[in-house]
Chains A and B, each alone.
Chain A
Amino acid sequence: MTTPAIPEGVKRCSTRQFTLWLAVVGAVLLWGVYAMFLIWYKGLNQTGMNDAYGFALWIWADLAVIALGGGAFFSGFLTYIIGKKELKSIINYAVIIGFICYSSALLILALDIGQPLRGWFIFWHANVHSMLTEVAFCLSCYFAVLTIEFIPLVLENPKLDRIPFLHHLSHNMHEVMAVFAATGVFLSFFHQGSLGGVAGVLYGRPFAFREGLLIWPWTFFLFTWSAAAVGPCFTMLVTWLTEKITQKKLVRPEAFELLAKISGWMLLTYMIAKIADTWYWAAVTAPARGFSLMEFYSNNPIYGIWILIAELVICGIVPALILITPKWRENKNLLVTAAILAVLGVCINRWVMVLQVMAAPLLPFQDWYMYMPTWQEVATTILPVAYGAILISLAYRYLPVFPHEKELNPGQ
């Protein structure tokens, strides 16, 4: 189907089919919105959080979507700063995925602070000794950068592009996009890092505490590194999923190939650093505080040594080896498997650095303290997925997201 609002030369499903799809995803979204209003109306007693769990499912979701949204800043860095022209095929989609991830993170934070009307306090009454202040600053500014990167694409909608001012605005924003992309890289480096830094500086919690460089624990650098490595994997995964659903080729193979290769080497180097960090922590840092490695992985119903093996080997080393080997990454099934494993790996990493940290006992007479999220927390964590699906559907339908779609699907 084609209408004046749909980009020229591409086919989209009928309005009826599209509306039906939006209704299904919209129902999930409404469930999340209902839970969201319950939390705002009744307060944080609607959650499973308590004095032991000030950070819980939402903070894990925040850290995970921010890491997965790292594809936007890293692809932007490669495209606009390094000049990798092959990535022009996928950069728009990376920006949209990043925009969804960061707006979701901000939405979740608006719930988590309990009093969103006082959200601006962190800017005006800033605690300048807190890594979370740096996260709030960089997160908000980077979301502004992502919005600026998204605007030219919105303005390329055929109807909007006919308005001369908007046409020129879109063109001029493209011209200076490298400046915004560079600002985005600067901001991302610090907020991705500080999210890791928050865990690493917890000297009262030996499971999380790490030594480091000057004021930055090693987790600062590992979080930035892992986001740059896995963010592009998530972008590739969502692109592949979109191709499967739409039954079209949307991105040139060389874009996938390059992104997979860079992502693979980033992931491999990250895993080497992560394994070195884990070994030093297990052999030196934790024992110096009276803990052995297995104390963190026993006597509880969930956190066995399997979680460490899953994070480092199955979802770390294995996808890295697939992605750096040309023959393996050329196989689309293996490439997608590697991307799924890498995404799971970073989600496990964020989970243990938020929730296992809270669960692990601190003193010899203490027991593990487990946590179960309420349905309101689960619904509000699923809400961004539904919101993301809707935004992607709208963007795919009405915006020229994939510049090579027409050329890759000549029969349409």
Chain B
Amino acid sequence: MFPFSFEWVWDISHLVFMGGLWYALSIIGAGMTYCVIKSLIDTAADEPGEGGHGHH
């Protein structure tokens, strides 16, 4: 539910519940976006022919 949905009410319950949901989803989304973009950059920066080998 978003604030522009017809059933949205600007009260503390909606702010806490929906705010908490969007906060958690934002962290998960931002974290994954960072990982994907950094991996694309890292892959592009690899020397030609260099394969991935474990260095975790």
Contacts and interface: CB of A to CB of B under 8 A. Distances in A.
Q: Which of B20, B24, B40 has the most CB of A within 10 A?
A: B24
Nearest to A144: B28
B35 A164 contact: no
Contact of A148 (B14, B21, B31, B53): B31
Contact of B24 (A164, A168, A187): A187
Contacts of A129: 13
Pick the 4 closest A-B CB pairs, nearest first. A167-B52, A128-B13, A168-B39, A168-B42
Interface string B22-52: 0011011001101110111011001000111
Interface SS, B side: helix
A311 interface: no
Contact of A176 (B20, B35, B52): B35
A190 B51 CA distance: 42
Contact of B1 (A123, A134, A169): A123
A161 B54 contact: yes
B20 to A, nearest CB: 7
Interface of B: 1, 5, 7, 13-14, 16-18, 20-21, 24-25, 27-28, 31-32, 34-36, 38-40, 42-43, 46, 50-56
A164 to B, nearest CB: 5
A382 to B, nearest CB: 32
B52 A168 contact: yes
B55 to A, nearest CB: 7
Pick the most buried of A162, A164, A190: most chain B CB atoms within 10 A of its CB: A164
Interface of A: 123-126, 128-129, 133-134, 137-138, 141, 144-145, 148, 156, 161-174, 176, 179-180, 183, 186-187, 190
B45 to A, nearest CB: 9
Contact of B14 (A128, A171, A176): A128
B27 A179 contact: yes
B54 A168 contact: no
B36 A169 contact: yes
A72 to B, nearest CB: 16
B38 A172 contact: yes
A162 B27 contact: no
22 contacts: A123-B21, A125-B1, A128-B13, A128-B17, A129-B13, A133-B17, A138-B24, A144-B28, A148-B31, A162-B52, A164-B46, A165-B43, A166-B52, A168-B38, A168-B42, A170-B56, A171-B55, A172-B34, A176-B31, A179-B31, A183-B24, A187-B24
